[in-house]
């Protein structure tokens, strides 16, 4: 075998619209603030972008159309289905970073959440083996 298993070889990537809220910052509980995000998984990092479409105001030009809001490093993170007491919404995932920040990720369409769940879990597993 050649050196074909470098870290970039099996990179998992995905992007789409999800609802998300941060619920804890380094162990400190935060008030929920659900909003829709353009969400990108790339290089073991999950980035939630503010979509100005859903922002209260502000000009939209090419340079500020997609603004990173949260960047979550998946190395050492855990992902599970959120228990009922975490949210009244359906299809909620709970993402905990190794630094103790927590996010809820949600979408009404089952298959969309199932796909994200799968790829995030695969990414976490894969990073652990690097
Ligand atoms: O866990 P909570 O406090 O029931 O979360 C709800 C609140 O964040 C609520 O906003 P207010 O803090 O302004 O009441 C949101 O509108 C709800 O969506 C939150 O609950 P769900 O069950 O949707 O995650």
CA distances from 59 to 89, 111, 114 (A): 32, 34, 35
From the CA of 32, how far away is ligand 1's center (Å)?
6
Average pLDDT, the chain: 87
The per-residue pLDDT for range 47-76, each reduced to its tens digit, is 999 866 655 555 555 555 677 899 999 999
Give burial (CB, 10 Å; 0-12/13-18/19+) of 14. Answer: middle
The per-residue pLDDT for range 13-50, each reduced to its tens digit, is 999 999 999 999 999 999 999 999 999 999 999 999 98
Sign of torsion over alpha carbons 53, 123, 42, 99: positive
Q: How far apart are CA 12 and CA 63, in angstroms?
A: 26
Question: What's the pLDDT score for residue 11?
Answer: 74
- Using 50, 70 and 90 to split pLDDT, how confident is the model at 129? confident
Beta strands in 26-128 (DSSP E): 28-29, 35-42, 45-50, 67-73, 78-81, 92-96, 102-106
**Predicted TM-score (pTM) of this structure:** 0.85
Cβ neighbors of 63 (< 8 A, separation 6 or more) are none
Please report the ipTM that was assigned to this predicted complex. Answer: 0.89
pLDDT score of 3 more than 50: no
Structure tokens at 97: 């970073």
Q: Mean per-residue pLDDT for 107-113?
A: 98
The secondary structure element, H or E, covering residue 122 is: helix 110-129
Work out the percent of the chain whose per-residue pLDDT is above 70: 80
Atom of ligand 1 nearest to the CA of 104: 24
Q: Whose CA is nearest to atom 14 of ligand 1?
A: 32
From the CA of 74, how far away is ligand 1's center (Å)?
26
| Selected residue with higher pLDDT from 2 and 93 | 93
Q: Whose CA is nearest to atom 4 of ligand 1?
A: 87
pLDDT score of 4 more than 50: no
Sign of torsion over alpha carbons 66, 71, 75, 80: negative
């Amino acid at each position: 075998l050649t050196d074909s298993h470098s870290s970039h070889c099996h990179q998992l990537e995905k992007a789409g619209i999800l609802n998300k809220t941060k619920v804890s910052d380094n162990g400190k509980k935060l008030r929920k603030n659900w909003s829709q995000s353009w969400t990108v998984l790339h290089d073991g990092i999950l980035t939630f972008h503010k979509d100005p479409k859903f922002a209260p105001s502000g000009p939209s030009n090419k340079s500020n159309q997609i603004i990173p809001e949260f960047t979550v490093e998946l190395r050492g993170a855990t992902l599970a289905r959120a228990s009922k007491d975490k949210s009244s919404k359906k299809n909620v995932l709970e993402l905990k970073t190794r630094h103790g920040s927590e996010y809820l990720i949600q979408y009404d369409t089952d298959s969309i959440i199932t796909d994200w769940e799968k790829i995030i879990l695969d990414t976490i597993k894969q990073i652990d083996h690097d």
